[in-house]
Amino acid sequence: MNDKCFFDSNMLVYMMDASEPQKQAKARALFSECIANNSAVISTQCLQEFYNVTANKLKQDKLNIKKIIHNYSEHIPTVQISPSLIEKAIDISIQTQFSFWDSLIVSAASYAKCSILYSEDLNDGQIVEGVKIQNPLK
Protein backbone atom coordinates (compact mmCIF):
# COMPACT_ATOMS: atom_id res chain seq x y z
CA MET A 1 0.00 0.00 0.00
CA ASN A 2 1.80 3.12 -1.25
CA ASP A 3 -1.19 5.39 -1.79
CA LYS A 4 -1.98 8.04 0.78
CA CYS A 5 -4.97 7.08 2.93
CA PHE A 6 -7.12 9.65 4.68
CA PHE A 7 -8.82 8.56 7.92
CA ASP A 8 -12.23 10.02 8.73
CA SER A 9 -12.79 10.77 12.41
CA ASN A 10 -15.15 7.80 12.75
CA MET A 11 -12.23 5.47 12.02
CA LEU A 12 -10.17 7.12 14.76
CA VAL A 13 -13.08 6.82 17.18
CA TYR A 14 -13.56 3.12 16.47
CA MET A 15 -9.96 2.51 17.52
CA MET A 16 -11.03 3.68 21.01
CA ASP A 17 -14.51 2.13 21.08
CA ALA A 18 -14.38 -1.14 23.04
CA SER A 19 -18.16 -1.56 22.62
CA GLU A 20 -17.54 -2.45 18.93
CA PRO A 21 -14.66 -4.99 19.21
CA GLN A 22 -14.77 -6.17 15.57
CA LYS A 23 -14.80 -2.65 14.20
CA GLN A 24 -12.14 -1.65 16.71
CA ALA A 25 -9.85 -4.47 15.58
CA LYS A 26 -10.37 -3.69 11.87
CA ALA A 27 -9.78 0.04 12.37
CA ARG A 28 -6.65 -0.55 14.45
CA ALA A 29 -5.19 -3.04 11.97
CA LEU A 30 -5.80 -0.74 8.99
CA PHE A 31 -4.44 2.30 10.82
CA SER A 32 -1.34 0.38 11.93
CA GLU A 33 -0.71 -0.77 8.36
CA CYS A 34 -0.99 2.78 7.03
CA ILE A 35 1.22 4.16 9.78
CA ALA A 36 3.87 1.51 9.02
CA ASN A 37 3.75 2.52 5.33
CA ASN A 38 3.76 6.25 6.08
CA SER A 39 0.54 6.60 4.12
CA ALA A 40 -1.91 7.79 6.82
CA VAL A 41 -3.28 11.35 6.67
CA ILE A 42 -5.77 13.14 8.95
CA SER A 43 -7.07 16.69 9.37
CA THR A 44 -7.60 19.15 12.17
CA GLN A 45 -11.34 18.58 11.73
CA CYS A 46 -10.84 14.85 12.37
CA LEU A 47 -8.89 15.60 15.54
CA GLN A 48 -11.65 17.91 16.79
CA GLU A 49 -14.39 15.38 16.07
CA PHE A 50 -12.28 12.58 17.60
CA TYR A 51 -11.91 14.58 20.81
CA ASN A 52 -15.59 15.47 20.98
CA VAL A 53 -16.87 11.91 20.50
CA THR A 54 -14.30 10.12 22.66
CA ALA A 55 -14.64 12.61 25.52
CA ASN A 56 -18.42 13.03 25.48
CA LYS A 57 -19.87 9.81 24.06
CA LEU A 58 -17.22 7.25 25.02
CA LYS A 59 -16.40 9.05 28.29
CA GLN A 60 -12.66 8.59 27.81
CA ASP A 61 -10.15 10.47 29.96
CA LYS A 62 -9.71 13.93 28.43
CA LEU A 63 -6.01 14.20 29.22
CA ASN A 64 -5.39 10.81 27.64
CA ILE A 65 -7.28 11.92 24.53
CA LYS A 66 -5.15 15.07 24.45
CA LYS A 67 -1.99 12.90 24.50
CA ILE A 68 -3.34 10.75 21.67
CA ILE A 69 -4.15 13.85 19.60
CA HIS A 70 -0.67 15.23 20.26
CA ASN A 71 0.85 11.91 19.18
CA TYR A 72 -1.24 11.82 16.00
CA SER A 73 -0.42 15.39 15.06
CA GLU A 74 3.31 14.83 15.68
CA HIS A 75 3.56 11.66 13.59
CA ILE A 76 0.83 11.82 10.93
CA PRO A 77 0.53 14.44 8.21
CA THR A 78 -2.35 16.63 9.34
CA VAL A 79 -4.24 18.88 6.95
CA GLN A 80 -5.06 22.27 8.47
CA ILE A 81 -8.54 23.40 7.51
CA SER A 82 -8.29 26.67 5.60
CA PRO A 83 -10.76 29.03 3.94
CA SER A 84 -9.92 27.55 0.52
CA LEU A 85 -10.71 24.03 1.80
CA ILE A 86 -13.99 25.33 3.19
CA GLU A 87 -14.89 26.82 -0.20
CA LYS A 88 -13.98 23.55 -1.92
CA ALA A 89 -16.13 21.68 0.61
CA ILE A 90 -19.09 23.86 -0.31
CA ASP A 91 -18.59 22.95 -3.98
CA ILE A 92 -18.34 19.25 -3.09
CA SER A 93 -21.47 19.49 -0.97
CA ILE A 94 -23.40 21.04 -3.84
CA GLN A 95 -22.08 18.44 -6.30
CA THR A 96 -22.61 15.34 -4.12
CA GLN A 97 -25.34 16.36 -1.68
CA PHE A 98 -22.99 15.31 1.17
CA SER A 99 -23.26 17.30 4.37
CA PHE A 100 -20.87 20.23 4.64
CA TRP A 101 -18.83 18.40 7.31
CA ASP A 102 -18.47 15.25 5.21
CA SER A 103 -17.57 17.41 2.22
CA LEU A 104 -14.86 19.10 4.29
CA ILE A 105 -13.35 15.66 4.98
CA VAL A 106 -13.35 14.93 1.22
CA SER A 107 -11.88 18.37 0.53
CA ALA A 108 -9.02 17.73 2.96
CA ALA A 109 -8.36 14.26 1.55
CA SER A 110 -8.24 15.66 -1.98
CA TYR A 111 -5.95 18.51 -0.93
CA ALA A 112 -3.53 15.98 0.62
CA LYS A 113 -3.59 13.99 -2.64
CA CYS A 114 -4.97 10.90 -0.93
CA SER A 115 -6.27 8.21 -3.25
CA ILE A 116 -8.38 6.58 -0.52
CA LEU A 117 -10.68 7.98 2.15
CA TYR A 118 -11.54 5.47 4.86
CA SER A 119 -14.95 6.28 6.29
CA GLU A 120 -17.98 4.43 7.55
CA ASP A 121 -20.28 7.38 6.90
CA LEU A 122 -19.91 8.03 3.19
CA ASN A 123 -20.84 6.15 0.00
CA ASP A 124 -18.57 3.10 -0.23
CA GLY A 125 -16.91 2.95 -3.65
CA GLN A 126 -17.82 6.49 -4.73
CA ILE A 127 -15.02 8.60 -6.18
CA VAL A 128 -15.12 12.31 -5.42
CA GLU A 129 -12.38 14.75 -6.43
CA GLY A 130 -10.16 11.79 -7.33
CA VAL A 131 -10.55 10.23 -3.87
CA LYS A 132 -12.11 6.78 -3.58
CA ILE A 133 -14.29 6.33 -0.50
CA GLN A 134 -13.90 2.95 1.18
CA ASN A 135 -15.73 1.52 4.17
CA PRO A 136 -13.34 -1.08 5.59
CA LEU A 137 -15.76 -1.85 8.44
CA LYS A 138 -18.62 -3.29 6.39
pTM: 0.93
Indicate whether 33 pLDDT > 70. Answer: yes
Indicate whether 1 pLDDT > 50. Answer: no
Q: What confidence score (pLDDT) does residue 2 get?
A: 58
Q: Give the ranges where 6-129 is alpha helix by DSSP (H).
A: 9-14, 21-36, 44-56, 62-75, 83-96, 100-111
